Amino acid sequence: MSHTVITNSSTNTRTSGDGVLNMGYTRTIPGLLKMGQLLALLIAFLCVHCARGWPNWYAFQYFEVVTLWFFVVFLVFFLMHLFRLQTKMPCINWPLTEFFHYSFGTVLILIASIIAAVKGGNVSALAAGSAFGFIATFLMAINMWTSYSASCGPHPTGASV
């Protein structure tokens, strides 16, 4: 009995989806929302951090801590999607994790932005920081809604009755 082994020799071509970097994610709606959130949070943090003459020290320290914390968390989420790291750790429900982070982030940044707007006085940098905080809150609410519909929304089955 003889066995024949047939091998096909083909060149390995890589498409844009095969690489380590998922650059296509930056052109999707969730990717654009994350980049907008990161930009708004960074600008909000820098406006408050670089401002002089804070009328209320503790309120703006809270604003700085909250904006910087969620900037780092959303940067980690963005890099995870960019490098496809969520596929390497399937034991964690990433859509649900992101949903909870967006939920808490939306509430905490909204509170921080309201406090910054009320306590800002006549310092224009603090007003700009709170405005970018409100923009980040709006973008997080949109992203929270889309992540909710992806992770907790109705999942149609293939079976029809």
Whether residue 94 is contained in a domain is answered as: yes
Q: How many domains does the chain have?
A: 1
For the segment 100-126, the average pLDDT, to the nearest whole number, is 92
Residue type, 68: L
User: Cα(150)–Cα(92) distance, rounded to whole angstroms?
Assistant: 15
Q: Is the model's pTM score more than 0.85?
A: no
pLDDT at 75: 96
Residue-wise pLDDT tens digits, 47-100: 999 988 777 888 889 999 999 999 999 999 999 999 999 888 889 888 888 889
Q: Which residues contact 47 (CB under 8 A, 6 or more apart)?
A: 125, 126, 128, 129, 132
Residue type, 110: L
**Domain range spanning residue 77?**
32-151
Whether residue 11 is contained in a domain is answered as: no
Sign of CA dihedral 116, 122, 126, 130: positive
Whether residue 6 is contained in a domain is answered as: no
How far is it between the farthest Cα atoms of the chain?
Answer: 92
